[in-house]
Each structure stands twice: as C-alpha cells, then as structure tokens.
Structure 1
Amino acid sequence: MAVAVMEALMIFIASCLCVFLILHLIKFFNKVWWNPIRIQSAMRAQGMRGPPYRFLHGNTKEIYNMRSEIMSSPMELSHQMLARIQPHVYSWIKLYGMNFLSWYGPQAQLVITEPELIKEVLSNKDGAYPKSVIQNYAEKLLGDGLVLSQGKKWLKMRKLANHAFHAESLRGTIPAMIVSVEAMLDRWRQEGVKEIEVFQEFKVLTSEIISRAAFRSSYLEGKNIFDMLTRMALIVGRNNYKVGISGIKYSSYLSFSTKI
C-alpha cells in the first residue's frame, strides 16, 4: 500500500513538473517568437518596415557586426558622422526610410529620425512617451538622476538643473575655464610638443573645467574617479548588444557578444 502511494505521489510530482516546464516553454516562445512576429506583421500592415526579426537576438548581431566593421577601419575626414557612429541607423534609413522598426532581442524599437516627430516625442506634454528601460549596466553608470527619472522626481530635478544653466551661473564658470585652458597651453609650451592628440587633450580639459567649476577641485585630484567612469562607460558600451536569455538569473549571452 505504501509503495503504491509513493508511486502515485512521484507520478503526480513528475506531472506537475512537466506542466510547469511546458507552461514556461510556451511563455518563453511567446515572448521570443510569436509576440515579435505578431508585432512585426502589425507594423508592416501600417507601412512601418524595418530589418526582419531574428530569433532570440533580434537585430543585435547585425548591429554588432556593422559597428565592428566600421570601427576596425580608419576614420575619414568628414562631417558625416552618422555612418561612423551609428552605421546600422545610417544603413537602415536608406533601406526603410526615415522611420523604421528594429529589434533589441525580442523587444521592438521604433526608430524615428524625422525632426517633427522627434520634436513631438521630446516635448511629451501628455506623457504619452515614457522613457525606455535601460538595459544591462547602463543604469549603474547613469545613476538615478535626471536621465532616468520620470514624473514628479524628473520635474524637480529638471528645475534644479535649469538653475545651473542660467546666464549668471554659466558666467561664474568662466574663470575656471580660463584657468584650465591657460594651464593646458602652458603645459604644451613647456613640453614643446609639435603634435597633439586632440581627443585626449580636450577630454582632460573638459574634466578639468568640470572639476574646477562644480567641485572646486582639479582633474588630478579626481583622476581616479574620472578613469573609473571612463572604464565603466567602455564596458557598458562594449556589452550594449548582449541579449540576456529570459528566465535565467545570471543571464547567459549569445556567442556573438563581446566579453567583459
């Protein structure tokens, strides 16, 4: 009798586990296959085209490959920076028009480049365009500040930020700018350099001005903090197109993604 009860209990547990797994598989495939295909079909019916959805990774593999290819080649002297910075957007605008649908994993992203539509979204008077959820570790880099906040908190922080850009406030930063620029020029004269890495020099100059104007300090005193922020930004950017597999606590990522 006891053996029969145990067998029945084991069968019941196994059945529950099978049902649990089946339900989760249905939910998983609905998220990564059926829902994206449904959205893609609905948007195409409204005339909104874009690169086709690819199972699991969406368009992230294409974006990663495009960016890797363009970044591995020398940069041409040109004011046309979109093709360099966002090669996928540049390419897809030519293929699908000013507005198109792309995919970050199974998440649909409507990309708009028409100035009037951009203006409407940025004004957002009715709150119809909520901010998107930041992926990966970008949230840790940006913090819970003006960029990510919404609603009353955003409004309060925006008012505080506006004060920093008033004419009087900006006028007060001029001495810090002058001191920083003069220090940079003196260093150039003392070193007697004939060739200058402009990007690095102006990055340090910007950090120096921020340090003096906002923190009454110098770049050298906060160099470690600036360096750590730079490294974190590089890590976030390098892993921006990793796509997590839903349902796994420590997300696994597709093989085309870069490693930290």
Structure 2
Amino acid sequence: MEISLLYICFAILVVPWGIRFFNKFWFRPKRLEHSLRTQGLRGTLYRFPFGEAKQFAEESKAALVKPIPLSHDIIPRVMPFFHRIMTQHGKISFTWYSQEPIVILNDPESVKYLLTKQQNIVLKPKPDDAAKILETGLVAHQGEKWKKHRRIINPAFHHEKLKVKSF
C-alpha cells in the first residue's frame, strides 16, 4: 500500500515536469522546424537539447585563430557560423540557437519588406522578471507605444544636432 502511494506521488510530481520538458526541448522546436520548412525556408535540423550552440562557439573560436585575410570579405571571419549557413542553405535560411530558431535574411528586398510592411511580425522576445526591472524606455515598448516614443525622440538624432561643434 505504501509503495503504490509512493508511485502515485512520484507520477503526480514527475509526469507534468516531463511533459513540459519534452514540449520545450523537443515537440515545440520540431513544430517550429516543420512550420519554417512548409513556408519554403531551408536550414539546419534541430539538435536536442541546445541546437547549434556548440557549433556556433567552435566556429567562432576557430575563425579567431586564423590570420585575417587581405580582402574586404570579413563575414567569414566575423560571423563564420552564419556564413556557413548562408552558403549551404541560401540567403534566406534558418538555424537553431538553443530551442529558438534564428531566421537569417541576407536579401535586401526581404529585409526592406519586413521592416516597412510587416510591422506586426517583428516582435521583441518577452523579457524575464530581471530584464523587466532593468529595461525601460524605447527598448521595452512595442507597437503603437513604440511608434509614439520613437516620434518623440527622433528629432534628437537629426544630422545637424549630432554634428560635433569645435571650439
């Protein structure tokens, strides 16, 4: 009797945690990967549990060890991981950093369309509790509130006001 009660308590505590764990680290990333592929994007496969984070760190470290080439093509040195993804999968592709997909847009027309026409698509990630305390101002706002605050501060960044005055 005591053993079955122990199994029931164990199941009540562990099963919901296990479901949340597998949803966060497997089911949700696989759903996102399927969704991105059905939209026509190509990219890397999701790797449990941290995506491509290990390869990102290794390629960045390896690029810093190599000597700087005498050309203006600095992308393989500065962003070797993203350069590899773009050469393998195209200018519009995706990869994984932890459980979140990173969509790479290296096509100017797509970036222009995204930033001008689709204002509701680009959403900032939801901050955790510590970030809510530290974030204030324009960084924390979204939507109409962001537009209003951006209009207010825009004149401060006018070219004439940014010029350095020499004495």
The TM-score by the shorter chain falls in which range?
Answer: 0.7 to 0.9
Aligned to 1:77: 70
State the shift of 1:128 in Å: 2.6
Q: Quickly say closer, same or farther: Cα 1:125–1:34, change in 2 above 3 A.
A: closer
C-alpha distance in 2, partners of 1:155/1:37? 34
Aligned to 1:119: 112
C-alpha distance in 2, partners of 1:126/1:93? 25
The one-letter code matched in structure 2 to 1:159 is: R
Q: Quickly say closer, same or farther: Cα 1:82–1:161, change in 2 above 3 A.
A: farther
Aligned to 1:17: 10
Deviations 1:136-195 (A, max 9, x none): x9x59x94343443124322331233111224423xx421xx46xxxxxxxxxxxxxxxx
Conserved in 1, the CA contact under 8 Å of 2:52 and 2:96?
yes
Q: Quickly say closer, same or farther: Cα 1:65–1:145, change in 2 above 3 A.
A: farther
Aligned to 2:92: 99
TM-score, normalised by the number of residues in structure 1: 0.55
Q: Which 4+ residue blocks in structure 1 deviate beyond 6 angstroms?
A: none
Match among 49, 52, 59 for residue 45 of structure 2: 52
Conserved in 1, the CA contact under 8 Å of 2:51 and 2:99?
yes
Q: Does 1:160 align with 2:140?
A: no
Q: Quickly say closer, same or farther: Cα 1:112–1:132, change in 2 above 3 A.
A: farther
The one-letter code matched in structure 1 to 2:157 is: F
Aligned to 1:38: 31
**Ranges in structure 2 where 5+ consecutive residues have no aligned partner:** none
Equivalenced residue count is 165
The one-letter code matched in structure 2 to 1:166 is: H
Higher-Rg structure is 1
Aligned to 1:257: none
Aligned to 1:150: 142
User: Residue 138 of structure 2: SS of its match in structure 1?
Assistant: coil
C-alpha distance in 2, partners of 1:17/1:90? 47
C-alpha distance in 1, partners of 2:142/2:79? 27
Deviations 1:73-119 (A, max 9, x none): 22223322221221111111110011112112111222211111111
User: Residue 33 of structure 1: SS of its match in structure 2?
Assistant: helix
Aligned to 1:65: 58
State the shift of 1:11 in Å: 4.9
TM-score, normalised by the number of residues in structure 2: 0.80
Deviations 1:185-218 (A, max 9, x none): xxxxxxxxxxxxxxxxxxxxxxxxxxxxxxxxxx
State the shift of 1:134 in Å: 6.4
The one-letter code matched in structure 2 to 1:19 is: I
C-alpha distance in 1, partners of 2:67/2:153? 38
C-alpha distance in 1, partners of 2:103/2:95? 6
Q: What is the aligned-residue RMSD (CA, Å)?
A: 2.8
User: Residue 174 of structure 1: SS of its match in structure 2?
Assistant: coil
State the shift of 1:125 in Å: 5.1
